[in-house]
A and B are shown apart, each in its own frame.
Chain A
Amino acid sequence: MTTPSAPALEVKNISLAFKGVKAISDLSFEVAPQEICALIGPNGAGKSSLLNILNGVYVPDSGEIIFEGEHFHRMQPLEAARRGIGRGFQNNALFSGMSVADNVIAGLSRHARATLLEEALLLPRARAEARRFRERAHEVLRLFDLERHAETTVALLPYGVQKKVELARAIVAAPRLLLLDEPLAGMNSAEKQEIAQIIARLNRDLKLTIVLIEHDIGIVLKLAHHVVVLDYGRKLADGAPDTIRDNPEVIAAYLGHDKVEIAA
């Protein structure tokens, strides 16, 4: 690439079908480094499927993903995590039986260097690593104001707090790209504001590139730098929030016809 800011992520001609039903057709777009890119579109537009392709859960039928200059026909989930692609899930995929601190520590697994033998025999390197991970986890918990919940079992916490734990777990390993699937879903408006602020802060302070799916258009237009609109697996529009708001096609296909659903 010769441009000064090569895209952090490039989705190129990606197609995906489930048993013959097209979920995504020939989709291409770019995500610039350190931007928040929002994917919007009605349910079934292929947004979650795309995130699943990006972190290797689904294999696209064709097309490729270019992440930080490297080309992939498919990602493996483990490979994606190791390369620094973090992921938050729609209904949280936390380890619900474990404490908040342990969840966040688990997020550091990809940085573990101690060998199995060192771990099993509790040799100095394994112990030092465990200590370092614990400290790092607590640092991140402080950042999210979660310290008082550190030893609480996740399942006992309210949903909004769990969401913060999931974000903490995702960013503790210092990802280069964060994928968030409806991070604001199922929250009241105060909680939505708080999480949106956290996302904006992560993006600004950690210079984190974020791709997120969100239905709350009001928040999306304020939060995102770049919006990609999907409908039936095709790209309908792609640009800055302002241009999306005024795009007649988007208004017709999405913004216009069902305001109630969008607000939900």
Chain B
Amino acid sequence: MNMFLETLIGGLLAGTMYSLVAIGFVLIYKASGVFNYAQGSILLFAALTFVSLTDQGVPVLVALAITVVVLALMAVGIERLILRPLVNRSPMTLFMATLGLAYIVEGTAQGLMGSQVRALDLGIEDLPIFLGDIMISQFDLTAAAVALVLVVALSLLFNKTRLGVELRGVADDTRAALSIGIDVNRIWQIVWTIAGLVGLVAGLLWGARQGVQFSLSLVVLKALPVLIIGGFTSIAGAIVGGLVVGATESLAETYIGPFLGGGITPWFAYALALAFLFIRPAGLFGEQKIERV
């Protein structure tokens, strides 16, 4: 039983990291109707910028502030150069544009800041702690706490501020938002900045775990099953989807893995997502059909 709980808790905590990556997608998908393939590259770019700065001896808070400014500038640039000219084009056109964007961002990041693996030390001790006889990774616990704080902050922004009303309005109906005088372009810039920030947090947590390097941008592939399970249009869905993927993945590795010779983790989430596509194609919390992507 303890082994089960330990596996489950470890999985859930790891799942919050998947949720973080998925939230970045949901934010942009809701606000601008784009499946942003570049989210992974932006995540890599954000983490790389931060690490490069701290490597130069820039204090952590200053490095964070600079990274945030860089992300905001990038969001404005993306909105001006890609979203605005392509407004009213098909979702597929926009998707292709973000595909191109992914390579540009990735190339720029590596061109400017190098492609070697950078160690990132966030100062979180990775010693296990014990709750009774259940062992829990302290790092995972911290990461989950950070994710929780971020989600609470986002939900306050969306639900308790006037800006949040505009943000939700644009996500709900862009045409109506425009007709009542909401500056949709500005909202897109804000949403892409927020998605960049979420990417930064996710990038730092993942980067601390596996080093900051090119493969970081591939965590987006892990966000796909999360989105299919949770639904593309719901932040709650992204959170639950991440938890489901994290938990089932780790349980499957422990309990089914031995029968299949292990190595289940890399593909299990996709198999689960496939099952979801058969049973509930809009995801647990999704509003629209996935074909609309």
Contacts and interface: CB of A to CB of B under 8 A. Distances in A.
B33 to A, nearest CB: 15
A110 interface: yes
Interface string A80-121: 111000110100011111100011011101101010100110
Contact of A93 (B157, B168, B176, B183): B176
Nearest to A103: B169
A47 to B, nearest CB: 17
A88 to B, nearest CB: 9
Nearest to A102: B165
A55 B179 CA distance: 7
B162, B173, B176, B178: residue with the most chain A Cβ atoms closer than 10 Å: B162
A122 B178 contact: no
Interface string B161-191: 1110110110011011111111110000010
A126 B162 contact: yes
A106 B178 contact: no
A109 B182 contact: yes
A119 B163 contact: yes
A98 B168 CA distance: 8
Query: Chain B contact residues: over half helix, strand or loop, or mixed?
Result: helix
Given A106-B166, A122-B161, A133-B162, A81 B176 contact: no
Contact of A96 (B166, B172, B183): B172
B168 A97 contact: yes
Contacts of B182: 78, 106, 109-110
Interface residues of B, number: 21
B179 A93 contact: yes
A82 B182 CA distance: 9
B283 to A, nearest CB: 16
A89 B176 contact: yes
Contacts of A97: 168, 172
Contact of B180 (A106, A114, A120, A122): A106
A220 interface: no
Contacts of B162: 105, 112, 114, 119, 126, 129-130, 133
B22 to A, nearest CB: 20
Contacts of B184: 78
Contacts of A215: none
A109 B169 CA distance: 10
A239 interface: no
A126 B163 CA distance: 9
Contacts of B163: 116, 119-120, 126
Interface string A31-68: 00000000000000000000000010100000000000
A98 B164 CA distance: 11
B178 A78 contact: yes
Which range contains the number of A residues in contact with the other chain?
35 or more
A106 B173 CA distance: 12
A169 B168 contact: no
A173 interface: yes
A93 B169 contact: no
B172 A130 contact: no
B176 A78 contact: no
Nearest to B184: A78
A95 B179 contact: no
Contact of A81 (B165, B168, B173, B179): B179
A7 interface: no
B169, B175, B180, B190: residue with the most chain A Cβ atoms closer than 10 Å: B180
B177 to A, nearest CB: 7
A82, A97, A109: residue with the most chain B Cβ atoms closer than 10 Å: A109
A130 B162 CA distance: 6
B73 to A, nearest CB: 14
Given A98-B165, A106-B166, A126-B161, A86 B180 contact: yes
A180 B169 CA distance: 20
A179 to B, nearest CB: 9
B180 A107 contact: yes
A195 interface: no
A116 B172 CA distance: 21
A56 to B, nearest CB: 8
Given A95-B168, A97-B168, A106-B165, A78 B175 contact: no
Interface in B67-101: none
11 contacts: A78-B184, A81-B180, A87-B180, A89-B179, A102-B165, A105-B165, A106-B166, A106-B177, A109-B166, A110-B180, A120-B157
Given A78-B183, A109-B180, A120-B163, 15 more contacts: A55-B179, A77-B179, A95-B172, A97-B172, A98-B169, A107-B181, A112-B162, A114-B162, A119-B161, A120-B157, A126-B162, A130-B162, A133-B162, A169-B180, A173-B181
Interface of A: 55, 57, 77-78, 80-82, 86-87, 89, 93-98, 102-103, 105-107, 109-110, 112, 114, 116, 119-120, 122, 126, 129-130, 133, 169-170, 173
What 3 A-B pairs are tightest by C-beta distance, nearest first? A110-B181, A81-B181, A93-B176
